[in-house]
Amino acid sequence: MLAHPCLVKMPCPNPVTLTDCAAIVRGLRGIVGDDVIDDPAELAAYASDGLTAYSQLPLAVVLPRTTADVAAVLRFCHDGQIKVVPRGSGTSLSGGALPLADGIVLGLGRFNRILEVDLDNRCAVVQPGVTNLAISAAVAADGFYYAPDPSSQIACSIGGNVAENAGGVHCLKYGMTTNNLLGVELVLMTGDVVRLGGRGLDGPGYDLLGIVCGSEGLLGIVTEVTVRLLPRPESQRALLLGFPTMTAAAGCVAAIIGDGIIPAAIEIMDRPAIAAAEAFVHAGYPLDVDALMIVEVDGPPAEVDYLIAEIDALALAAGASTVRASASDVERTLFWAGRKAAFPAVGRIASDYYCVDGTIPRRTLPAVLTAITAIAAAKGLTVANVFHAGDGNLHPLILYDGDQPGQLEAAEAVGAAILEECVRVGGVLTGEHGVGVEKRDLMIRQFTATDLAQQTRLKCAFDDRNLLNPGKVFPELCRCAEMGRVHVHRGATRFPELPRF
């Protein structure tokens, strides 16, 4: 890890107006009091996020308690041209919350209250530091829940879900965060506070709410979120399906969708992931199959029972060797326990793994999964595949040993090649983890220079000084008109400016 500049009494790197780290910290304390961290030992807790191959101590961490605090901090940073990296729970898997040595981290962990539950309008108003699962827990007794359910839902915060447009296993039927988001309170880099959306399903004017959802902290700081609540389904059942080949499993997915059935979820794991999950959770998964599929349907009991029978028949016709329907909610939960724990389970069979996030057309699943295996093998690595089969969102887990020289670089190269393959077959670079720093240099594989220029113009409209989460998403950021261009990345290796653990 690189030494923090303040440790050696050096001025902050790349200063613009405020050149002294101590002066910046004093200014921040003048706004939020003691809610500022600048001790190196305490800063270490904020040095990375879920993309843990890289680490950087920030200049300082600010932990505001109110929207007014956030507005005052951003106004101070705007006037002093100080960079700001927003952070929720730090679970980003694309480096979205990775700090900058010459910028502050604005942590929203203290924004952790559910402000209002409005069942009449089927919505809840929450602060961005509330965890995803806490929303469902708060309304469970009334028979409601919040639909998006990323695997990290016990830890990830709703503000981060908005920033990355997070999904989850049930997004096939119920949509991503953007489909369940009604409104936000947003603080702009200038300190101005605006409200986008509300409690209605739609509003007049430009869809600025849609722009903010998935903007990865580049446009403003979300300080309040209004989400849609849904009545909990009357009945839920799941099918556990084992297939001798991934091609057969992919064919079953196509058959289900082609038959007009939209399940709540369709998830697939390959043989390495099945073995790891079963050893970890003991969910009763078959170990003699190359692909394991979990299909869940929900609704009135009669409809659910009918759909289970239909999917059972489609699976057998597609070549399923294992077909087991949940007979109780306890068994259904056990089916899901292995899938929900797949990431930590894979961590038990490899010293390190690198999680990739890309999305492809469903019809290309067999070919792309075969290509993934070949890409990894060419670098001497293996992959465990876990993915949202219903919407083609892949999460290959590239297994490597970070203590072996060159293996991290090999894993990154495999990840980049997988994402290029996703784009080549008509897919996209990310399904729900965002671009962050992980995929920023691959943006040119999906977008033309004209595409990126239009996107950066939007960024400039919200943040003309490029102070909010700079260095993320765009490989080359136009800072607006006469300000010229800022080159974020140059060099033969990925992210050469980022120190590693």
Q: Which fold has domain 235-342?
A: Alpha-Beta Plaits (3.30.70)
Question: Comparing 114-231 with 350-424, is the CATH topology the same?
Answer: no
Task: Note the pLDDT of residue 480.
Answer: 55
- Specify the amino acid at residue 334: L
| Closest C-alpha to 215, from 485, 452, 455, 429 | 455
CATH of range 350-424; options 3.30.70.20, 3.30.70.2740, 1.10.760.10, 1.10.260.40:
3.30.70.2740
Domain ranges for the chain: 5-107, 114-231, 235-342, 350-424, 452-487
The arrangement of secondary structure in 5-107, i.e. its CATH architecture, is 2-Layer Sandwich (3.30)
For 401-420, write each residue's pLDDT tens digit: 999 999 999 999 999 999 99
| Closest C-alpha to 332, from 320, 342, 324 | 324
Confirm or reject CATH 3.30.465.10 for domain 114-231, answering yes or no. yes
pTM above 0.85, yes or no: yes
Question: Quick one: CA torsion of 315, 321, 326, 327, rounded to 10 degrees?
Answer: 110
Task: Note the pLDDT of residue 406.
Answer: 95
Cα 17 from Cα 45, distance rounded (Å): 28
Cα 336 from Cα 151, distance rounded (Å): 10
In order of 256, 288, 317, 368, the CA distances from 362 in angstroms are 12, 24, 19, 10
Backbone angles phi, psi at 260, to 5 degrees: 85, 10
Task: Note the pLDDT of residue 202.
Answer: 78
Assess contact for 262 and 173: CB atoms under 8 A: yes
In order of 6, 47, 87, 118, 376, the CA distances from 59 in angstroms are 8, 10, 14, 40, 38
Q: Measured over all CA atoms, what is the biggest interatomic distance in the chain, rounded to whole angstroms? A: 71
Burial (CB < 10 A; 0-12, 13-18, 19+), residue 252, is: buried
Residue spans of the chain under pLDDT 50? 1-18, 479, 481-493, 500-501
For 171-190, write each residue's pLDDT tens digit: 999 999 999 999 999 999 99
Task: Note the pLDDT of residue 151.
Answer: 86
| Closest C-alpha to 169, from 419, 430, 391 | 391
Task: Note the pLDDT of residue 498.
Answer: 53
